[in-house]
């Protein structure tokens, strides 16, 4: 459990990613994670960042201190300071709360280490209506190399996005999966994609593929009609007299645009 860092400079927090420490010596509120990490911060920044979390902080009474054995005078002083602060219990994992605070205070921003934790961080920022923080996190994610949403993470991110109600990430992940030309149960099973999302989410993704590819088929048909008059005549086996290479290319795309609904076991 974290304690106040008395050696910290004024107006600067003592932070440690390894130990999940985030402590201002002049803090006026303690945020406590569900796994018992405590973060000593200034409530005014939290109030400005989130109206929901701010209201929770402003309406939380100071907790009654629990009797603890006296070890030293120095620790007695630290304990007295901690007991004087308002403590707010939050249903957030310590690693996620630590990362969230780095986007609120003037410290280096830290993304969690796993895809699931990053998605939970976005979910928490959205849940507490932290619009500016959510924008900062998304901008940070967009600068990652390799890209956060890529072929090997797209299905997991899509599933977690629907789970957490993150429509922006769900759409971006769905777009990334469009590289699969044949959206069939066999293709997904070969790539071990079926275990990362429930059947209902898989069906939603298939419907998205269906809409995109249906629209693409219509657009390609319109393209053929509008482009033929502007292309010089050339030898072709098509009724529209498109260049052979262009007609073959469009035909390949159209043949790949027939969606095959997956049947999730």
- Domain range for 52: 14-102
- Indicate whether 150 and 190 sit together in one domain: no
Q: What is the pLDDT of residue 9?
A: 32
Rg (alpha carbons) of the chain, rounded to whole number:
27
Give a yes or no: residue 3 inside a domain: no
For the stretch 208-265, pLDDT in tens is: 878 887 777 676 667 666 765 555 555 544 455 566 666 665 666 555 544 455 544 4
Give a yes or no: residue 107 inside a domain: no
Q: Give yes or no for a cis peptide into 109 (omega within 30° of 0).
A: no
Boundary of a domain, candidates 53, 76, 102: 102
Give a yes or no: residue 263 inside a domain: no
- Indicate whether 173 and 202 sit together in one domain: no
Give a yes or no: residue 47 inside a domain: yes
- Indicate whether 86 and 61 sit together in one domain: yes
Structure tokens at 84: 């004087």
- Indicate whether 167 and 231 sit together in one domain: no
- Indicate whether 164 and 218 sit together in one domain: no
Q: What is the pLDDT of residue 80?
A: 45
Give a yes or no: residue 110 inside a domain: no
Give a yes or no: residue 265 inside a domain: no
Give a yes or no: residue 151 inside a domain: yes
Q: What is the pLDDT of residue 7?
A: 31
- Pairing between β-strand 86-89 and β-strand 29-32 as defined by DSSP bridges: parallel
Boundary of a domain, candidates 134, 150, 179: 179
- Indicate whether 193 and 174 sit together in one domain: no
Q: Which residues of the chain have pLDDT under 50?
A: 1-11, 64-65, 67-68, 70-71, 73-82, 181, 236-238, 257-259, 263-265
Q: What is the pLDDT of residue 118?
A: 97
Structure letter (DSSP) for residue 7: T
Q: Give yes or no for a cis peptide into 72 (omega within 30° of 0).
A: no
Based on the structure, what is the number of domains in the chain? 3
Structure tokens at 19: 């130990």
- Specify whether the backbone of 36 is left (phi greater than 0), alpha (psi in -120 to 50) or beta: left
Give a yes or no: residue 9 inside a domain: no
């Amino acid at each position: 459990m974290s304690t106040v860092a008395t050696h910290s400079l004024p107006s600067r927090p003592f932070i440690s990613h390894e130990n999940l420490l985030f402590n201002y010596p002049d803090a006026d509120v303690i945020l406590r994670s569900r796994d018992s990490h405590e973060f000593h911060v200034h409530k005014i920044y939290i109030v400005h960042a989130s109206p929901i979390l701010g209201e929770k902080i402003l309406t939380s009474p100071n907790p009654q201190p629990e009797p603890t054995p006296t070890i030293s005078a120095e620790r007695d002083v630290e304990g007295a300071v901690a007991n004087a602060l308002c403590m707010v219990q939050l249903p957030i994992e310590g690693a996620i709360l630590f990362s969230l605070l780095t986007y609120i205070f003037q410290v280096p921003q830290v993304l969690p280490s796993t895809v699931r934790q990053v998605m939970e961080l976005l979910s928490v920022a959205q849940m507490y209506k932290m619009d500016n923080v959510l924008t900062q996190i998304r901008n940070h994610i967009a600068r990652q190399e390799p890209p956060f949403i890529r072929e090997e993470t797209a299905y997991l991110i899509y599933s977690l996005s629907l789970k957490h109600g993150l429509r922006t990430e769900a759409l971006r992940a769905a777009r990334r999966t469009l590289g699969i030309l044949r959206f069939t149960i066999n293709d997904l099973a070969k790539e071990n994609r079926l275990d990362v999302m429930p059947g209902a989410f898989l069906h939603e993704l298939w419907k998205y593929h269906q809409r995109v590819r249906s629209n693409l088929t219509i657009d390609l048909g319109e393209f053929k009609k509008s482009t033929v008059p502007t292309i010089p005549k050339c030898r072709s086996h098509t009724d529209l007299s498109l260049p052979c290479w262009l007609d073959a290319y469009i035909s390949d795309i159209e043949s790949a645009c027939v969606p095959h609904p997956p049947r999730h076991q």
